[in-house]
Amino acid sequence: MSLRAVFPATAWLLTRLVSKPARRIYICILAVVLIPAVMLRIEAIVFQFRVLKLTSALSALRIGVTSKSEAVSRIQGLRVVGGASKDYHCPADECFAVAIPNSRLSDWIFVPTFNDEHRTINSVMRWWGFRIWDVSASVDFTSGTVSDLGYRLTVSKDRSDYPGAVMVNVWSRADVTEKFFSWDVDESPNYIVYPGKWADDQRGIYFTRDTPAGLLGHAFDVRLRCLWSLAGCRTVRQLLPQAEPDRLAIERAAIVRLTGHNQCPLSILPRRARDAVDILLVEVKTVGAATAETEIGCRIATIRLLRVLKGKSQQPPAKIAVAPEIQMGEVSAHNSAFDLLKPSQRLLLFAGYQPFPVDRAYIAAPCEAMDGTDAAVQTIETALGPRQ
């Protein structure tokens, strides 16, 4: 007995499902889904190619060496930046920039839905291939050569996963001025990897003209295969995969040093000479115990100024309070400066972001106070160079 005789309704439905009009509908639906998906991914691949070309050209520039003409010829689309407002100020002789904007199709269709009210639509469109991307780069010139450079890359992710984008910021810096001298920056003063507020979504890198070539290459080694995958980009490690291993390696090396027998070697002093606001050579006069409740456990010393190695401070703090322990994230170690507080002991004091207070300085950061040996003083003077 035939299927049509036993299940006539089912047979009729199957006939209609495989009919020529039905097949045309299937082809149309498939075309509506596949053609935009393919086109969007081709757009993503083209964007990837343009970004890699840009970052490769940027990585070849050398601060203080590459000429303006060479840089402009290397980077297509690099144009001088005019003052967009009265508040804009170019920090160099000339500032140039280039940008690769978002897909127009995504601007028209996807951007209006990219908010918390359309999460389901947003997820479907991301799977389809709609993404938001943007990259911008700048190169500054002083005396006809490159003085600063960097780029910023942003790629959308699932809007339900706040902040809804993964971001990379890579910029050059002449120095790294901080309120306190970071223990990890001491370990790698020319290449600094820092997580943003959202560690899985943001990554930043600062580099200087003295960054080793291998590490500098990591800062410009952008990967964008996730941009045209079905899942899209989910974490910043997909975009800049070598940055986080670099950060962890620097952190481990710094912890080994700070928990070892030579907590503050002379090798960290050139960085201190470069970045400190004030560097003072002082002598310990008297040592006593803390009396203030907030400084219990510290040693208090009165000091007198011997020399100002850097800065304009002609008067050191009257006293310093030195904590017995220093913190490196979740790891703590004994503060080597705690044991240096003896009458007639010479100390080097380093102020980072701002000068020392005139009354009392609290020494709790690693190597904020160091043994003021002749070798240490000479190392700082050599790093600073001749005084003007």
Start-to-end CA span in the chain (Å): 107
Residues constituting the chain: 388
Least confident of 45-49, 97-101, 180-184: 180-184
Which one, of 215, 217, 192, lies nearest residue 52 by Cα?
217
pTM over 0.85: no
Q: What is the mean pLDDT of residues 27-35?
A: 59
The CATH fold assigned to 266-384 is: OB fold (Dihydrolipoamide Acetyltransferase, E2P) (2.40.50)
Query: In which band, very low, low, confident or very high, does the pLDDT at 315 lie, cut at 50, 70 and 90?
Result: confident
How far is the C-alpha of 249 from the C-alpha of 146, rounded, in Å?
30
Which one, of 266, 284, 272, lies nearest residue 341 by Cα?
284
Query: In which band, very low, low, confident or very high, does the pLDDT at 28 lie, cut at 50, 70 and 90?
Result: low
Query: In which band, very low, low, confident or very high, does the pLDDT at 107 lie, cut at 50, 70 and 90?
Result: low
Angle at 239 between CA 199 and CA 221, to 5 degrees: 120
Whole-number Cα distances in Å, 345 to 279, 287, 297, 342: 16, 11, 20, 5
| Segment 108-132, tens digit of pLDDT | 655 555 555 556 656 666 666 667 7
- The per-residue pLDDT for 69 is 94
**CATH 2.40.50-classified regions of the chain:** 266-384
- The per-residue pLDDT for 86 is 63
Which one, of 172, 220, 177, 173, lies nearest residue 55 by Cα?
220
Q: What is the mean pLDDT of residues 163-187?
A: 84
Please say if the pLDDT value at position 228 is more than 50. yes
- The two tokens of residue 324 are 């017995």
| pLDDT > 70 fraction of the chain, expressed in percent and rounded | 77
| Segment 186-201, tens digit of pLDDT | 999 999 998 877 888 8
* H-helix or E-strand spanning residue 194: strand 191-195
Q: How far is CA 213 from the centre of its chain?
A: 17
| CB proximity list for 76: less than 8 A, separation 6 or greater | 53, 98
